[in-house]
Amino acid sequence: MKNFLHTKSRLKQKLRDRELSIGSWLSIPHQSIVEILSSAGFEWLTIDIEHSAIDLQTVQNLIGHIQANDMEALVRVSKNDEVIIKRVMDAGANGVIIPMVKNAGEAEQAVSWVKYPPNGTRGVGLSRAQHYGTGFNEYNKWVNEEAVIIAQIEHIEGVRNLSEILDVDGIDGIIVGPYDLSASMNKPGMFYDEDVKEVLAEIDRITLEKSKSLGFHVIESDHMKLLEKIDKKYNFLAFSIDFFFLGDKAREQMGMIKSKI
């Protein structure tokens, strides 16, 4: 079995150096979707198990397909929870995105649940990540040096505590969840509201001052929206979602056909 896990993470290095890295979001749990997105040149895919029906057995299969197509596999876990973080890491994920991180204590918990003692509190099991028992020592070294841990900032309380969150050892950067962030301000989806824009600007300012990787999930399948974030010095960018790439193109082309018949 070829081992995709015990190698240097290109994404981790880019996060350290604040270099641009573009990935996408996976909610349709099929090998074909992974292979199609890999042909577009994404560097990583995030398997979303917070807002999808994807189960853990499917997560492991998707991780394998993502890595086999020369991308890194992240999992946006369902919550900041010891068991789910441990299980997706045991399945071989390159890293995790932790939703709804509101303070430094929650960020510290997430890091602890990714890493084994003495660097964390993760329980030890043998599965795909540990090469089914033949590579635990190598994996233990890998997880301390190469595992990616991203805090998702999607609540106004997380913005208020952002400086302390960014100071947590082991947090590689943040990614803004724009829908939940605006919802926490009682303005769901109102990204161009002045209050929401002011909060987003505050996130940018604090993260850049801390010289940490700044991420955003650009929901629209419009490259111009992504370029706007690059111009604002975002470097960890999730570009749209599998179903938007599929649906937007289908609706666009069918709309053009219907306009001519």
Q: In one letter, which amino acid is 177?
A: G
CA angle 163, 45, 146 (to 5 degrees): 60
As a whole number of angstroms, the distance between CA 214 and CA 208 comes to 7
As a whole number of angstroms, the distance between CA 152 and CA 80 comes to 10
Tokens, residue 118: 């003495």
As a whole number of angstroms, the distance between CA 260 and CA 114 comes to 55
CB atoms within 10 A of CB 45: 27
Q: Are 214 and 235 in contact (CB under 8 A)?
A: yes
As a whole number of angstroms, the distance between CA 72 and CA 93 comes to 8
Burial class of 148 by CB neighbour count within 10 A (0 to 12, 13 to 18, 19+): buried
As a whole number of angstroms, the distance between CA 184 and CA 204 comes to 18
Strand runs labelled E in the chain: 21-26, 44-48, 72-76, 95-98, 148-153, 173-176, 213-218, 236-241
Pairing of strands 21-26, 95-98: unpaired
The one catalytic residue in 6, 51, 155, 217 is 51
Q: Is there a catalytic annotation at residue 217? A: no
Catalytic residue ranges:
51
